[in-house]
Amino acid sequence: MGNQLESGLVSANGLAGKKAWIGRPKKNDPDAMKKMGRVRACVFHPKQKRCVGLLVKRPDVALLFHRPNMFVAVDGYDVVDGNIVVHEGPQAVDKGACKALGINLDDCVLWAGLAVMCEDGTDFGVVGDVLFHPQSGAVETLVVSKGATANTLLGQRNVPASAIRGFRRGMGTQLYVADDDDAAALGCILVDDSVKDMDVSGGVAEKAGAATAVATDKAKRVVRRVQPKAQEAVDKAKPTVQKAAKAAGEAVDKGAFVTGRQIGRATGMFSSFKDEFSKAMKDDE
């Protein structure tokens, strides 16, 4: 099957909105195809963790009369050049597909947009995407979204199938308009408490943290590489620096001695002047 991820899994989001076609051979064109509509959403088993098929929204007749959605079994189509090509045969669509899968379509669930919660009511966000195996439909990963902005900044939480309990009524997202006391109108995807300790991934914050770690690591490597050369340069310069310091010290000492001598001379001159002045004053008297 085309449109698979590198892991071989299929993304429910990746299928939504794709055009659906079915073979309608003609005498002059045995490969002729008829457009059936577009994929509306993936359909999941009411009790098991598996995708059972796709809902295809068919165009209204003359843009006035609504036509019911077509159900396509999970193993009843291929993805060719980005389009859904439905297999020919009664087991690929609608009642024949439901009978082959052993399901009642009215009991099945659309997971997209449902709240993801723990038993104690902890709300992690909503179902942003589901990754499942193409043939069996077995769910592998539940991608929990908290909105476009939060996803960009903080990233998303990827919940493995082992931590998913399945669809639960009575809590979460309102499924249809009902009275306030109608608990059946609420539904969510229930997960284990272990999800509380799961890290989110893929956000800007995580990338920024990774970039900081990389930059720090690079800086440390640069320091480790430059440090020996710097130390070598210091060792080479040390004798010159020491010699210059010694010469500077000698100059300072010499300068201090000369300055002291000049101060001594000035003091002697002042003392002599004082004596002469006193002597002259006495003679005048």
pLDDT tens column, 163-176: 999 999 999 999 98
The 10s digit of each residue's pLDDT in 49-70 is: 999 999 999 998 876 788 999 9
What is the full DSSP assignment across 176-202?
S---TT-GGGEEEEEE-GGGGGPPPEE
Confidence of residue 21 (pLDDT cuts 50, 70, 90): very high
C-alpha–C-alpha distance, residues 191 and 115, integer Å: 10
Listed as own residue / partner, the contacts of 124-127 with beta carbons closer than 8 Å and 24 or more positions apart are 124/157, 124/191, 124/195, 125/150, 125/157, 126/173, 127/189
Which residue in 165, 150, 46 sits closest to 116, CA to CA?
165
Q: What's residue 194's pLDDT?
A: 96
Q: What's residue 221's pLDDT?
A: 67
The 10s digit of each residue's pLDDT in 200-225 is: 876 554 555 555 556 556 656 655 67
The residue-averaged pLDDT of 144-172 equals: 89
For residue 58, what are the contacts with CB-CB under 8 A and spacing of at least 6? 36, 37, 67, 68, 69, 70
Least trusted range by pLDDT, from 100-114, 160-174, 195-209:
195-209
For residue 61, what are the contacts with CB-CB under 8 A and spacing of at least 6? 67
Q: What angle do CA 188, 66, 23 make, to 5 degrees?
A: 90
